Amino acid sequence: MIEYNEGIHLKGTGLWFDSKKKAGLSFISNANIDKFTASEKIIATPETIKFLDTKIKKSVVLACPYFRPFALGNLQVELVPSGHMLGSSQMIVDKGDKTLIYSGDINLKKLPTQEPAYTRHCDILVMKCTYGLPKYISPSFYESIEPLIKFINETLSLDSTPVILVEPVGKAQDIIKVLGENGFKLSLHKSIYKATKIYEEFGIEFGDYELFKPTHIEEKIVIIPPDKMESNKIKNIKRKRAAMIIEWDAEEKSAIKSAFKANETFTLSNHAGYNELLQYVEYVSPEKVYLIDKHATEFAKTLQKRGYKAIPLEKPTQLNLL
Residue 322 has what pLDDT?
Answer: 45
Mean pLDDT of 129-153: 93
Examine the pLDDT at 95 and tell me if it is beyond 90: no
Quick one: 22 and 75 in the same domain?
A: yes
Number of domains the chain contains: 2
Quick one: 94 and 110 in the same domain?
A: yes
Mean pLDDT of 40-50: 97
Mean pLDDT of 200-220: 95
Residue 113 has what pLDDT?
Answer: 96
Mean pLDDT of 28-40: 88
- Amino acid identity of 186? L
Quick one: 168 and 282 in the same domain?
A: no
Quick one: 209 and 96 in the same domain?
A: no
Quick one: 31 and 132 in the same domain?
A: yes
- Angle, CA 158 vertex, CA 153 and CA 162 arms, to 5°: 55
Mean pLDDT of 46-65: 94
pLDDT tens for 226-282 read 999 989 999 899 899 999 999 876 666 777 887 788 899 999 999 999 999 999 999
Examine the pLDDT at 284 and tell me if it is beyond 90: yes
Quick one: 91 and 185 in the same domain?
A: no
Within 64-187, residue ranges assigned H as helices are 141-157, 171-181
Domain that holds residue 83: 2-136+271-319
Mean pLDDT of 7-26: 91
Quick one: 14 and 114 in the same domain?
A: yes
d(CA 322, CA 319): 9
Whether residue 104 contacts residue 92, with contact meaning beta carbons closer than 8 Å, is answered with no
Examine the pLDDT at 36 and tell me if it is beyond 90: no
Residue 314 has what pLDDT?
Answer: 67
pLDDT class for 306, splitting at 50, 70, 90? very high
Q: Residue 253 is part of a domain; what is its CATH number? A: 3.40.50.10890
Quick one: 172 and 234 in the same domain?
A: yes
Examine the pLDDT at 304 and tell me if it is beyond 70: yes
Domain boundary among 223, 250, 267: 267
d(CA 73, CA 128): 26
pTM value > 0.85 = yes
Side-chain-facing half-sphere of 165: CA atoms under 13 Å = 24
Q: Residue 26 is part of a domain; what is its CATH number? A: 3.60.15.10
Quick one: 82 and 151 in the same domain?
A: no
Quick one: 155 and 83 in the same domain?
A: no
Quick one: 114 and 169 in the same domain?
A: no
Average pLDDT in the chain? 92
